[in-house]
Amino acid sequence: LAALGLTLGASAPTPALAADKPLVLGFSQVGAESEWRTANTNSIKDAAKQAGITLKFADAQQKQENQVKAIRSFIAQKVDVIAFSPVVETGWDTVLKEAKAANIPVILTDRAVKVSDPSLYVTFIGSDFVEEGRKAGKWAVDWAKKNAPTGEVNIVELQGTVGSAPAIDRKKGFEEAIQADPRLKILRSQSGDFTRAKGKEVMEAFLKAKDKKIHLLYAHNDDMAIGAIQAIEEAGLKPVKDIAIVSIDGVRGAFEAMVAGKLNVTVECNPLLGPQLMQLAKDVKAGKQLPKRITTEEGIFTADVAAQELPKRKY
């Protein structure tokens, strides 16, 4: 610095050397479809600010084509790192090859992809969705043991967005777990796109087909369960009492529904990935070796602990 004729002091601003330039992170978000997503977006925005990272944020409104456009625009802007939460699992090879050719590292958050070449992304941070489905399924098996010791147990399933990692994996884990009791059968299964409105609409259709009694609802997220609760009540039935409900995420709305006696249980899925993502972006830029897969730790909460847990919830 002396050789450059610069001095550092309390009053002298630090010269803008290349290394001091804030890291620029382009992030393509799925959308704003659920409470989970809102918490995830807030976590990412807050963490970027905290970490002094310049965040370019794009909301894809649950459309893959919008995510592809956003990633291409991040490449054109020569951001340092690209991160995204892929709405669906497949169809990413071309755009990720473009990022690789431009030498921009890609981090996956929340949802996984299926690509031909795993070197197309550096690391993936997010939950184990199969395990979440298993937890929900084990709870259903337990519920049936206590509440329906004999006879069939008819389940309806509200799936997440078609082709998304959480919808595929949560279905798989649940189906695996309910095999423990052959009386548990999935009567109907349809996508509610992870939204309240769609969850309500599809549940209404499930309830209209009055061929068999529905004993239990499995919703791939809390928002769809909350929509379905409305449909159940409007049909003159009581959630929990007439139809048991298990869902996933553990958002505030689910805890409130449990306190109100309208939801049996929620499996936690942590959306607060922002701080870890910022650290990973810095590490990747610094050339550190990163593990290919980073999973988040999660629990399961039943209605009897909801009132006590609610004030502690961060999302």
Q: What does the binding site for ligand GYE look like in residue numbers (CB under 6 A)?
A: 33-34, 36-37, 110-111, 166, 194, 221, 223, 248-249, 269
What's the min distance (Å) between Cβ of 268 and ligand GYE? 10
What's the min distance (Å) between Cβ of 132 and ligand GYE? 8
What's the min distance (Å) between Cβ of 286 and ligand GYE? 28
Q: Which is nearer to ligand GYE, 37 or 262 (CB)?
A: 37
What's the min distance (Å) between Cβ of 81 and ligand GYE? 20
Q: Which of 53, 61, 103, 51 is nearest to 85 (CA)?
A: 61
Q: Which is nearer to ligand GYE, 42 or 54 (CB)?
A: 42
- Alpha-carbon span 62 to 64, nearest angstrom: 7
SS (H, E, C) the chain: CCCCCCCCCCCCCCCCCHHHCCCEEEEEECCCCCHHHHHHHHHHHHHHHHHCCEEEEEECCCCHHHHHHHHHHHHHCCCCEEEECCCCCCCCHHHHHHHHHCCCCEEEECCCCCCCCHHHCCEEEECCHHHHHHHHHHHHHHHHHHHCCCCCEEEEEEECCCCCHHHHHHHHHHHHHHCCCCCEEEEEEEECCCCHHHHHHHHHHHHHCCCCCCCEEEECCHHHHHHHHHHHHHCCCCECCCEEEEEEECCHHHHHHHHCCCCCEEEECCCCCHHHHHHHHHHHHCCCCCCCEEECCCCEEEHHHHHHHHHHCCC
Q: Which is nearer to ligand GYE, 36 or 74 (CB)?
A: 36
Q: Which is nearer to ligand GYE, 44 or 144 (CB)?
A: 44
What's the min distance (Å) between Cβ of 147 and ligand GYE? 26
What's the min distance (Å) between Cβ of 91 and ligand GYE? 17
Q: Which is nearer to ligand GYE, 216 or 269 (CB)?
A: 269
Q: Which is nearer to ligand GYE, 171 or 215 (CB)?
A: 171
Q: Which is nearer to ligand GYE, 104 or 277 (CB)?
A: 277
What's the min distance (Å) between Cβ of 195 and ligand GYE? 8
